[in-house]
């Protein structure tokens, strides 16, 4: 019998309105099948899978992520197991519940095999790969920080290859996470939300390069590195993209089926949309990437912590505004929460996670934290509940 608990604790001092969130999995090895149970059997039915099933039909989405972690963690001959799952990470709340399940399952799968000497970066890549196979076009950030995160600091993470750098946050301030209590289900909204945005970004990249560069790029960062451009130059390059919604019929020359073939469920995206807005999505990505670098620069500067916090809050607010206006992944409830936070002591407040509901994160002076939480409970939770 093996036991693993993943604590969803942040890597700086953080208050949460519902305490410490946990994802707990208990494994028992043996047999020739996989049985996954949840402690809440009424809400989450048990499922039994065969070892050799490549694309099983899942009775519940959370099982997809246990399965993805199992696939990522096995190093040799697969064995059957029984898993009992529980936790209090709010589902579909932008708080990495899927990554928590996938990483916990992958780590436990390694543990039961006695596998200790694994290449950490390759292990993370496998976790990301199999979670994408579960259907979400995730970027890999949540999975990476869940594996390499360290208490007491943030991490600046880049990909291709995966690299991380510790970032010390200003002292005397807290990041307060609030659940909007409106679910943000990635897998049920692939065609219109999360995966659609990934497709729009790929379309935007192709519209930038067509007729100018023969090479194909999967990310904007790959294009930026190829051209050795800074963000301002990349912004100017993006002006090649037509502004506003573009009907799919006007994009047929891009061979969208082939262009988007690596995006999970791109067929659903193409069949459920009549137009795309690649310009707004690309501009958001360019400016958001620039804000990340500015965030790191502020943290590494010699400014007093109070000045750092003010600058970081401004970047968080700009990010939320862009998520709302350009990437269009905010929601009415998120807008209410972030506005409430800014009006009551938060230097900055933005959505966290994929968007379209879920949670918010607010930067608040520690001496105001308790009053801030009380105000949010009184003016949001008591109203919406």
Which residues are part of the catalytic machinery? 142
Count of all residues that appear for the chain in the document: 385
Side-chain-facing half-sphere of 329: CA atoms under 13 Å = 31
Contact 185, 354 (CB under 8 A): no
CA angle at 164 for the pair 160 and 165, rounded to the nearest 5° = 140
Dihedral sign computed on CA atoms, order 213, 218, 219, 221: negative
Residue 261's CB: how many other CB atoms inside 10 A?
10
Q: How far apart are CA 146 and CA 105, in angstroms?
A: 12
Contact 269, 190 (CB under 8 A): yes
Q: How far apart are CA 223 and CA 305, in angstroms?
A: 35
Q: Which DSSP string do the residues of 293-326 spell out, in sequence order?
A: HHHHHHHHSSS-HHHHHHHHHHHHHHHHHHHHHT
Residue 271 tokens read as 């069949």
């Amino acid at each position: 019998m093996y036991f693993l608990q993943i604590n969803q604790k942040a890597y700086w001092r953080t208050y949460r309105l519902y305490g410490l969130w946990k994802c707990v999995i208990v494994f028992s090895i043996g047999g020739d099948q996989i049985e996954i149970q949840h402690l809440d059997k009424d809400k989450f039915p048990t499922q039994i899978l065969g070892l050799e099933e490549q694309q099983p039909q899942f009775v519940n989405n959370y099982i997809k992520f246990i399965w993805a972690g199992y696939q990522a963690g096995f190093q040799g001959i697969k064995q059957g197991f029984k898993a009992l799952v529980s936790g209090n990470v709010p589902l579909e709340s932008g708080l990495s519940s899927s990554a928590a399940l996938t990483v916990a399952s992958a780590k436990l799968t390694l543990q039961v095999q006695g596998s200790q000497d694994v290449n950490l970066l390759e292990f993370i890549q496998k976790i990301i790969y199999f979670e994408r196979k579960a259907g979400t076009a995730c970027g890999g950030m949540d999975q990476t920080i869940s594996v390499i995160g360290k208490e007491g600091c943030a991490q600046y993470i880049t990909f291709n290859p995966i690299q991380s750098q510790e970032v010390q946050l200003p002292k005397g301030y807290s990041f307060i996470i609030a659940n909007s209590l409106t679910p943000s289900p990635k897998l049920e909204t692939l065609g219109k939300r999360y995966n659609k945005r990934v497709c729009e970004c790929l379309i935007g990249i192709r519209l930038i390069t067509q007729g100018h560069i023969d090479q194909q790029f999967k990310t904007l960062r790959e294009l930026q590195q190829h051209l050795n451009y800074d963000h301002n130059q990349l912004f100017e390059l993006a002006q090649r993209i037509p502004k506003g919604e573009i009907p799919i019929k006007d994009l047929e020359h891009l061979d969208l089926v082939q262009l988007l073939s690596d995006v999970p469920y791109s067929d659903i995206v193409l069949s459920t949309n009549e137009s795309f807005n690649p310009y707004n999505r690309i501009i958001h990505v360019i400016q958001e990437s620039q804000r990340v670098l500015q965030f790191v620069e502020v943290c590494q500067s010699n400014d007093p912590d109070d000045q750092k916090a003010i600058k970081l809050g401004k970047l968080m607010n700009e990010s939320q505004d862009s998520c709302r206006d350009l990437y269009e992944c905010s929601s009415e409830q998120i807008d209410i929460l972030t506005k409430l936070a800014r009006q009551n002591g938060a230097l900055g407040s933005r959505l966290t996670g994929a968007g379209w509901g879920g949670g918010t994160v607010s930067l608040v002076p520690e001496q105001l934290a308790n009053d801030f939480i009380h105000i949010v409970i009184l003016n949001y939770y008591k109203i919406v509940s």
